[in-house]
């Protein structure tokens, strides 16, 4: 019972604090994962969860909540985690629809968002650096060393990056499939 309550509260917190799209929730999930011991017994890491959530339909936040809930406490875990992450949006948007027709032009809301938006950008830039370093150098940013540098990962990273810049409309699913193919080719065949 307590594990369900913990899952619910953790995703409720994540749901309240996620602004600016799914990826901004990554550090929130990482911190909750450490605090609650999520993913400790799984062969999947957060990067795997992100990849799978990106290549399946539906909002990223829902996918990842369902995934972690399911892995930690089965179907009930999936249900409470998903309800937790959705509930803040659900309640807030109903209140806005009912009471605040001019919500987004309200001075208080605008001033708060003026502080939140840059902070979310800063967070996302930090997540970007740490995931890139982790993918290519196999270390966390603070323990940075060239000792585990993975040139194959750098090749895949470069190909995918250039591809995503050249074809801006390219689907993330397609990029993930290409990266998977390159991974099998470079690590498995060569």
Partner 1 sequence: MKKNILLDLFLTFLKIGAFTFGGGYAMIAFIAKEAVERHKWITEIEFMDLIAVAESTPGPIAVNSATYVGYKLKGFWGAFFATLGVILPSFVIIVIISFFIEEFRSLEYVNYAFTGISAAVAVLIINAALKLYKSLEKSWFSIVLIIIAFSLLIFNVIPTPYIILSGGLIGFIWYLICKKKVVDHS
- Residues 40-79 close enough to bind partner 1 by CB under 8 A: 42-44, 47-48, 50-63, 66-67, 70-71, 75, 78
> Of 5 and 94, which CB lies nearer to partner 1 in the complex structure?
94
CB of residue 49 to partner 1, shortest distance in Å? 10
Tokens 């090749």 sit at which residue? 155
CB of residue 5 to partner 1, shortest distance in Å? 18
Among 3, 4, 36, 88, binds partner 1 (CB under 8 A): 88
Question: To the nearest 10°, the Cα dihedral for 27, 71, 157, 28?
Answer: 0
Closest residue by Cα to residue 130 from 119, 142, 120: 142
> Of 5 and 117, which CB lies nearer to partner 1 in the complex structure?
117
CB of residue 64 to partner 1, shortest distance in Å? 8
Q: 168 exposed, middle or buried (CB, 10 Å; 0-12, 13-18, 19+)?
A: exposed
CB of residue 1 to partner 1, shortest distance in Å? 21
How many residues comprise the chain?
190
- Determine if 38 is a binding residue for partner 1 (CB under 8 A): no
Answer yes or no: are the C-beta atoms of 67 and 83 closer than 8 Å. no
**Span 98-157, contacts to partner 1 by CB under 8 A:** 98, 103-105, 107-132, 134-136, 141-142, 153-154, 156-157
CB of residue 3 to partner 1, shortest distance in Å? 16
Closest residue by Cα to residue 159 from 148, 149, 145, 170: 170
Under DSSP, the state recorded for 25 is G
Closest residue by Cα to residue 73 from 47, 39, 44, 46: 39
Site string for partner 1, 155-174 (x = CB under 8 A): -xx--xx--x------xxx-
Residues in contact with partner 1, counted by CB under 8 A, come to a total of 107
């Amino acid at each position: 019972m307590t594990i369900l309550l913990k899952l619910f509260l953790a995703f409720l917190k994540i749901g309240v604090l996620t602004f600016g799209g799914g990826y901004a929730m990554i550090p929130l999930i990482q911190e909750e994962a450490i605090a609650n011991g999520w993913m400790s017994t799984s062969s999947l890491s957060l990067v795997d969860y992100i990849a799978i959530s990106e290549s399946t339909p539906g909002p990223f936040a829902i996918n990842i909540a369902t995934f972690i809930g399911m892995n930690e406490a089965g179907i009930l875990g999936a249900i409470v985690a998903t309800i937790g992450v959705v509930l803040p949006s659900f309640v807030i948007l109903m209140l806005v629809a009912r009471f605040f027709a001019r919500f987004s032009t309200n001075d208080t809301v605008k001033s708060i968002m003026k502080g939140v938006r840059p902070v979310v950008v800063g967070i996302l830039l930090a997540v970007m650096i740490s995931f890139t370093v982790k993918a290519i150098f196999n270390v966390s940013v603070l323990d940075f060393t060239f000792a585990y540098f993975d040139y194959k990962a750098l090749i895949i990273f470069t190909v995918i990056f250039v591809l995503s810049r050249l074809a801006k409309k390219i689907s993330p699913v397609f990029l993930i499939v290409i990266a998977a193919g390159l991974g099998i080719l470079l690590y498995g065949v060569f």
